[in-house]
Amino acid sequence: MGRNTMAGLFKLAVGAGFGLAAMSGQSFGPTGTTALTVTVGVEARISVTNATTTLSDGSAFSNFTGVTNLLYKIRTAPSTGTGSITAQVTTDFSPAGGPSVASPPTAGDTLTYTCTVSAPGSACSGSQTASTTVATPVATFGADAHSAAAGNSASVDWTLTNDPVYKAGTYSATVTFTISAT
């Protein structure tokens, strides 16, 4: 190649390099900055603080009672957000011969509960009858609800009919609590 051709290629390469730096928006200096963005979405989490809730009777043939304690964290949308905590008996009492939520041995035998929920939640209204087929309410939340960073407390106070037809023994059921937020 001739000398003029090499000089022309050099000018073209240097010019293209400066063009690339200018096009990419890079600038060099003693400091640099960036913009940080974060999208904070709705969230909800729950913790059952006692893995086993023992239902016991205070005296002969009084109903069995016990308390399940919960902690929840929630953030709902500012304008139209809602949230809820529900409970559902996902595994009925077993073994056979004792209480049953789905098929009680005597009409009127029930597992019921009342709720206590710290703000920003609102507790279920009155006594609720537990179910194996549908989730039943424990708490509701409105728009722009925010729990504390450590979580907020809730509890479910259970009452199980003490029917004399139950066979003596130990029976277990599983209750699943679900929290949601929009």
CA torsion angle for 157, 116, 138, 84 (degrees, to 10)? -160
Q: Please provide the size of the chain in residues.
A: 182
* Cα(177)–Cα(138) distance, integer angstroms: 9
DSSP code for 72: E
Cβ 89 vs Cβ 132: under 8 Å: yes
Q: For the whole model, what pTM was predicted?
A: 0.83
Bond prior to 78 in cis (omega within 30° of 0): no
What are the residue boundaries of the structural domains of the chain, listed by start? 43-181
- Tens of each residue's pLDDT in the chain, 182 residues: 555 544 444 444 444 444 444 456 788 999 999 999 999 999 999 999 999 999 999 899 999 999 999 999 999 999 999 999 999 999 999 999 999 999 999 999 999 999 999 999 999 999 999 999 999 999 999 999 999 999 999 999 999 999 999 999 999 999 999 999 99
Tokens encoding 91: 């595994």
In which residue are the tokens 């730096």 written?
21
- The CATH architecture assigned to 43-181 reads Sandwich (2.60)
